[in-house]
């Protein structure tokens, strides 16, 4: 393990502390380039617009058509934190949009390898899913 010491810009840490950030977090954030509370804003308006994601419109149409046709959908997720979260959000979001036939697969990295592989795609096909969604 390599431990890195970073300089803490005093002005940035002070600004964050004055805005109510705990002094330890203010120093940590400042050492990582955060100099204003706006840098910590994680609101939805800070996300990239979906139109900027290549293929997003086509994917939205495909999913909407699959939901309307009551097709079986299967999410393939990774077992780590972001994969599990993406799977849960995907399942819940599709349910809220009216999807009825949903399933998911979380492959075993040791047995199945990492990412979407041929054998995993075959498992999805064998499960009867019409649509495979990776997260």
> Are residues 101 and 71 located together in one domain of the fold?
yes
Q: How many structural domains are present in the chain? A: 2
* Rounded distance between C-alpha atoms, residue 69 and residue 63, angstroms: 10
In order, the DSSP letters of 59-87 are HHHHHHHHHHTT--EEEE--SSHHHHHHH
Could you report the per-residue pLDDT of 48-102, keeping only the tens digit for each?
888 888 999 999 999 999 999 999 999 999 888 999 999 999 999 999 999 999 9
| Domain co-membership, 88 together with 127 | yes
Q: Are residues 70 and 19 in the same domain?
A: no
Residue 95 belongs to what domain range?
50-134
What pTM did the predictor assign?
Answer: 0.70
Q: Does residue 26 sit in the same domain as residue 80?
A: no
């Amino acid at each position: 393990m390599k431990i890195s010491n970073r300089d803490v810009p005093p002005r940035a840490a002070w600004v964050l502390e004055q805005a109510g950030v705990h002094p330890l977090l203010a120093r940590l954030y400042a050492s990582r380039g955060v100099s204003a509370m706006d840098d910590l804003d994680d609101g939805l308006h800070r996300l990239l617009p979906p139109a900027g994601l290549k293929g997003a419109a086509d994917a939205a149409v495909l999913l909407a058509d699959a939901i309307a046709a009551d097709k079986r959908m299967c999410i393939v997720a990774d077992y780590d934190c972001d994969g599990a979260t993406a799977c849960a959000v995907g399942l819940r979001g599709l349910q809220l949009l009216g999807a009825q036939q949903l399933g998911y697969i979380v492959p075993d990295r040791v047995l199945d390898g990492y990412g979407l592989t041929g054998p995993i795609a075959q498992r999805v096909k064998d499960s009867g899913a019409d649509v495979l969604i990776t997260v």
